[in-house]
Amino acid sequence: MTRTPVNVTVTGAAGQIGYALLFRIASGHLLGPDVPVNLRLLEIPQGLKAAEGTAMELDDCAFPLLRNIEITDDANVGFDGANVALLVGARPRTKGMERGDLLSANGGIFKPQGKAINDNAADDIKVLVVGNPANTNALIAQAAAPDVPAERFTAMTRLDHNRAISQLAAKTGAAVSDIKKLTIWGNHSATQYPDIFHAEVAGKNAAELVNDEAWLADSFIPTVAKRGAAIIEARGASSAASAANAAIDHVFTWVNGTAQGDWTSMGIPSDGSYGVPEGIISSFPVTTKNGTYEIVQGLDINEFSRARIDASVKELTEERDAVRELGLI
Ligand SMILES: NC(=O)c1ccc[n+]([C@@H]2O[C@H](COP(=O)([O-])OP(=O)(O)OC[C@H]3O[C@@H](n4cnc5c(N)ncnc54)[C@H](O)[C@@H]3O)[C@@H](O)[C@H]2O)c1
Ligand SMILES: O=C(O)C[C@H](O)C(=O)O
């Protein structure tokens, strides 16, 4: 049976993450090897020519699953009938910019995009926000889309999750595939909390196996939380291929489900679980099945974890209050 193509919209398509992302979507890594896709590339006017160049290259790959590419600078066109939206394009922080200025500039992008999703996207739309500050940009877009179920708006912490797995594998000498049930809590920022207390390494509890709180507090957590800045320092540009890879992982897992005995991390609207105020978009441990996700319940949160989750959540509530004051939500 021929499947109906899935409409995938990518904003910031001409940027560096866009360039690392589009070819993998078109080759079937986002949704699966038997799912045809239509691509919608949304850019600002200055980005349209470069997006056209990328589209030419996509054509030149002759991907069997890629049915059609549309390029536009009109959000209503870009999100028309979208089943999956990857919101990558954002206003980066520039020198001298205060946090309020950054939130306000991004509000000017994510509020109208949220409205365009509300008015034009397909009923089953799933949104992943990658553009920073990702959690609060997702909150802004979600607030502008009252007709879309709030849980369809998610923010990317999968890159942090993957970074944490890689660091833990290196520390324990285990294979990456042996690491399960790791959690990123909170914001995609330096306050995020990568939690190994429930993680397993080849079936053994990770925190007990490592048995080194100084490594956890002084090495593992800051390495994961500040990895984005370290990449910028080393590369002279922010992470692109690894960010694109994490976006692929996030959507693939959301659509196709987590493995038995494992979970993943996603920034999602809080339902109040684990004392995280309802409504803010915070990262949680989640399982996914049939295109939906559920927060893993009943985890014991020790004092070490509680303080770190609370610190990141505090930052998120401050960002929420700031965008509320700016009239963005
Ligand atoms: N959540 C994460 O883990 C994570 C990881 C890495 C990067 N990021 C963030 O992803 C974002 C994109 O990174 P990049 O390296 O691709 O940046 P980039 O500057 O290379 O590309 C951004 C693109 O977005 C476009 N754009 C700007 N405003 C737009 C709008 N209103 N509509 C459509 N397109 C628009 C620009 O023209 C540009 O082509 C940044 O905010 C970055 O900080 C997030
Ligand atoms: O773009 C950034 O500021 C860093 C990025 O969010 C990352 O985690 O690599």
| pLDDT (mean) for 140-154 | 98
| Helices first, then strands: H and E counts in the chain | 12, 14
User: Hey, which residues does 6 pair with through a beta bridge?
Assistant: 37
Check the annotation: does 24 bind a ligand. no
CA–CA dist 264, 182 (Å, integer): 7
Band of residue 98 on the pLDDT scale cut at 50, 70, 90? confident
Percent of the chain residues past pLDDT 70, beyond the cut? 99
Tokens of 229: 């800045």
Task: Judge whether residue 1 has pLDDT over 70.
Answer: no
Q: Are 277 and 157 in contact (CB under 8 A)?
A: no
99-120 vs 303-325: helix crossing angle, rounded to 10: 80
In tens, the pLDDT along 297-325 reads: 999 999 999 999 999 999 999 999 999 99
Band of residue 92 on the pLDDT scale cut at 50, 70, 90? confident
Whether 239 is in the pocket of ligand 2, judged by its Cβ within 6 Å, is: yes
CA–CA dist 161, 104 (Å, integer): 28
Q: Are 155 and 122 in contact (CB under 8 A)?
A: no
ipTM of this complex: 0.99
Check the annotation: does 306 bind a ligand. no
CA–CA dist 220, 213 (Å, integer): 10
The amino acid at 50? A
Ligand 1 centroid – CA 162 distance (Å): 20
Report the pLDDT value the prediction gives residue 99, as an integer from 0 to 100: 78
| pLDDT (mean) for 58-75 | 98
Ligand 1 test: best mutation among 10, 42, 43, most atoms within 8 Å of CB?
43
Contacts (Cβ under 8 Å, ≥6 apart) of 161: 182, 183, 184, 194, 246, 264, 265
Full-model pTM: 0.98
Which of 237, 236, 239, 181 minimizes the C-alpha distance to 206? 181
Contacts (Cβ under 8 Å, ≥6 apart) of 171: 210, 215, 220
| pLDDT (mean) for 33-48 | 98
Q: What string of DSSP letters covers 151-197?
A: GGEEE--HHHHHHHHHHHHHHHT--GGGEE--EEEB-SSTT-EEE-S
**Strand, helix or coil for residue 205:** strand
Largest Cα–Cα separation, the chain: 56
Ligand 1 centroid – CA 241 distance (Å): 13
> What does the mean pLDDT of the chain come to?
97
Q: Indicate if 188 belongs to the active site.
A: yes
**Strand, helix or coil for residue 258:** coil
